[in-house]
Amino acid sequence: MNKIKIRTIGTSVLAGVLAVIAFAGCSSGTPNITSKGTLIVNYDSGSTDDVQSGAQIVITDPSGTVVDTSDLTFVKTSPMGILVGNADEFTFNVDVPGNLTRYGIKLTTHGTIWFSQNEMKQGPGISLDETSSLP
Check residue 67 and give its pLDDT: 98
Number of domains in the chain: 1
Q: Is 11's pLDDT higher than 80?
A: no
Check residue 83 and give its pLDDT: 64
Per-position b or e across 114-128, b if 16+ CB within 10 A of its CB? ebebebbeebbebeb
> Does residue 11 form part of some domain?
no
Report d(CA 77, CA 91) in Å as an integer.
Answer: 13
Q: Could you tell me which of 33, 51, 5, 48 has the C-alpha nearest to residue 124?
A: 33
CATH of the domain at 124: 2.60.40
Q: How confident is the model at residue 98 (pLDDT cuts 50, 70, 90)?
A: very high
Check residue 88 and give its pLDDT: 92
pLDDT in tens, 13-72: 444 443 433 444 444 588 999 999 999 998 887 776 678 999 999 999 999 999 999 999
> Does residue 1 form part of some domain?
no
> Does residue 27 form part of some domain?
no
Domain of 63 in residue numbering reads as 33-129
Alpha-helix residue ranges (DSSP H) falling in the chain: 2-26, 117-122
pLDDT in tens, 101-124: 999 999 977 889 999 999 999 999
Task: Report the SS3 class of residue 123.
Answer: coil
